[in-house]
Amino acid sequence: MRDAGATRRRLLEAATAEFAAHGIAGARVDRIAAAARSNKAQMYGFFGSKDGLFDAVLAEHFELIVDAAPLDGADLPGYAVALYDAYLAHPEVVRLATWSRLERHPVGDLFADGVDHGAPKVAVVAAAQRDGHVDPALDPGDVLSLVVGMATTWSPASILLAAGPDEAAAVHDRRREALAAAVRRAVTTGS
């Protein structure tokens, strides 16, 4: 029963759910401690503060946020569809990122910690342009942004319509096809 690592993990898990649901300002540390079957004192021992806990949660999901799907420069439509499915399966990841955007980083890169985390992906797109897969007239960074933008069209942070698991499979399939076709035509070359 006495296992600091497991307790820490339970706290992070509970904090993920709480922050994803209510954001930083709306999250309640008591709820997190209770949901994790622990207590606030331990929480503060591990993470220092409410903000520190959010940092830890975000760091844990960092890879899932920026690499929700593997990027293949030769198959950007497939990448977009994979992102659509990832956001559908894990809406909490998108919500966490969006809370961070709204409550922490109103402009610029979401992860503005000195390291340009998008650089490798931009390089992949640039390579795909050299290989004739992607329109070379476009800025590779813009291509990446646009593809992700299209994939987030029905995400839990969308303005118009957020997709949910309750919708018919046919609706999801229709969106996947429209998304793949749109990405293909928008940024890839005929080849």
Look at the chain and count its residues: 191
CA dist., res. 173 & res. 179, Å (int) = 10
Q: Is residue 129 close enough to count as binding a copy of itself by CB under 8 A?
A: no
| Site residues (CB under 8 A) for a copy of itself, limited to 138-157 | 138-139, 142-146, 148-150, 152-154, 156-157
SS3 188: strand
When asked if residue 17 is in the footprint of DNA (CB under 7 A), the reply is no
Closest CA relative to residue 46, chosen from 20, 9, 21:
9
CB 28 → DNA: shortest distance, Å?
4
- Rule CB under 7 A: is residue 3 a binding residue for DNA? yes
Work out which of 39, 92, 184, 189 binds DNA, going by CB under 7 A. Answer: 39
Stretch that binds a copy of itself, among 8-16, 34-42, 48-56, 104-112 (CB under 8 A): 104-112
Cα end-to-end distance, the chain, whole Å:
60
**Which residue of 29, 157, 182, 186 would you call a contact of DNA, by CB under 7 A?**
29
- Comparing CA positions, the residue from 108, 106, 102, 19 lying closest to residue 59 is 19
2 binds, among DNA, a copy of itself, none (CB under 5 to 8 A by kind): DNA
Residue 62 binds DNA (CB under 7 A): no
- Which of 94, 106, 109, 88 lies closest to 21, judged by CA? 94
> Shortest Cβ distance from residue 142 to a copy of itself (Å)?
4
Task: Report how far residue 45's alpha carbon sits from residue 153's, in angstroms, rounded to the nearest whole number.
Answer: 40
Q: Do residues 67 and 86 lie in contact, with contact meaning Cβ atoms separated by under 8 Å?
A: no
Rule CB under 7 A: say whether 23 interacts with DNA: no
Q: Which of 42, 72, 104, 182 binds DNA (CB under 7 A)?
A: 42
Q: In whole angstroms, how close is the CB of 65 to DNA at the nearest point?
A: 23
Which residues neighbour 30 within 8 Å (Cβ) at sequence distance 6 or greater?
A: 40
Where do contacts with DNA occur on this chain (CB under 7 A)?
1-4, 6-7, 27-30, 37-42, 44-45, 49-51
